């Protein structure tokens, strides 16, 4: 797949047009370590953070404040080699009330096999909106940027400033959308080997533990209250990524048929990927 730098610039400008930066790049200021018993560490004077896991325990952090609509960017470098069963996350959650959540979860694999980027959305306690992707690069070789754009109209998942998934607000059709309560930014590294790798058949290998995931350059950009739209080029780029790299899609399993019908219609009836397989349990 080849997408020009000008196309990516246009996509990036559309995605940030209605946001204003509120915090940039300081884990000391913007986050707090929430669990891990010393396995999470803020480094480089607050510019970076590491999460580690061993057989006993993983680790995690979250933002010090919650947000109602924002863009969340971070650069991550995942665990290299055999990361089977291990789940590295970057997500939003309301934590309380009628549960809202926007997930980016990186499911580890055995050496030589690709990570799966597992995305999901919960709205008012209702989930099962899984879409999974094999990335077009090795996410453990160097840092890449991952983003969630959340505004009143839609949720956009992005990799290296390229949108890979859009979830529209269809509340006018009776479809729940997370728009009524703020969410916290949360990240974690944990043992999910009951389901994360090959449906739980491959378990975590603790021989080389502890394992470490790296985060840096966190930017939280608050929504400024303006509307934004996706261009035809944006939608073309999203379809290209989904056609080539999406490996499962909740819309292929008869879940939430109303929103799937509407969203596929808005995307000019994106063709289904023949490689789709059952979505992992989450």
Helices 232-245 and 5-16 pack at an angle, to 10 degrees, of 110
Q: What are the distances in angstroms from CA 77 to CA 202, 217, 256?
A: 22, 12, 34
Query: What are the residue numbers of the active site?
Result: 101, 105
Give strand ranges (E) for 198-244.
211-223
Can you tell me the distance from the alpha carbon of 57 to that of 50, in angstroms, rounded to the nearest whole number?
14
**What are the residues whose beta carbons fall under 8 Å from the beta carbon of 272, sequence distance 6 or more?**
249, 252
Cα gap 109→87, rounded to integer Å: 10
DSSP 233: H
Does 210 sit behind a cis peptide bond, omega within 30 degrees of 0 on the bond before it?
A: yes
**Burial (CB count within 10 angstroms: exposed 0-12, middle 13-18, buried 19+), residue 243:** middle
168 alpha carbon, distance to own chain's centre: 16
Give me 226's structure tokens. 């303006």
Neighbours of 46 (CB within 10 A): 15
Reference 278, options 221, 190, 198; nearest CA is 198
Tell me the C-alpha distance between 52 and 197, whole Å. Answer: 19
Q: Determine whether 2 is exposed, middle or buried from the number of CB atoms within 10 Å of its CB (0-12, 13-18, 19+).
A: exposed
């Amino acid at each position: 797949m080849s997408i020009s730098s000008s196309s990516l610039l246009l996509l990036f400008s559309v995605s940030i047009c209605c946001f204003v930066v509120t915090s940039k790049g300081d884990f000391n200021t913007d986050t707090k370590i929430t669990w891990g018993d010393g396995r999470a560490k803020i480094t480089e004077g607050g510019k970076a953070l590491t999460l580690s896991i061993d057989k006993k325990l993983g680790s995690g952090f979250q933002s010090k404040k919650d947000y109602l609509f924002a863009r969340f960017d971070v650069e991550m470098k995942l665990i290299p080699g055999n990361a089977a069963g291990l789940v590295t996350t970057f997500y939003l959650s309301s934590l309380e009330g009628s549960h809202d959540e926007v997930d980016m979860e990186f499911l580890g694999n055995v050496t030589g096999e690709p990570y799966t980027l597992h995305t999901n959305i919960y709205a008012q306690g209702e989930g099962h909106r899984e879409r999974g992707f094999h990335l077009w690069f090795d996410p453990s070789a160097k840092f890449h940027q991952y983003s969630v754009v959340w505004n009143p109209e839609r949720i956009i998942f992005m990799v290296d400033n390229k949108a890979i998934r859009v979830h529209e607000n269809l509340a006018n059709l009776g479809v729940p959308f997370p728009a009524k309560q703020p969410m916290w930014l949360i990240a974690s590294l944990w043992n999910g080997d009951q389901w994360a790798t090959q449906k739980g058949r491959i378990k975590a290998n603790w021989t080389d533990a502890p394992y470490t995931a790296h985060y840096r350059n966190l930017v939280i950009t608050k929504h400024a209250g303006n509307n934004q739209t996706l261009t035809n080029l944006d939608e073309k780029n999203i379809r290209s990524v989904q056609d080539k790299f999406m490996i499962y899609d909740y819309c292929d399993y008869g879940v939430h048929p109303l929103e799937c019908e509407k969203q596929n219609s808005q995307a000019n009836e994106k063709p289904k990927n023949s490689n789709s397989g059952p979505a992992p349990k989450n």
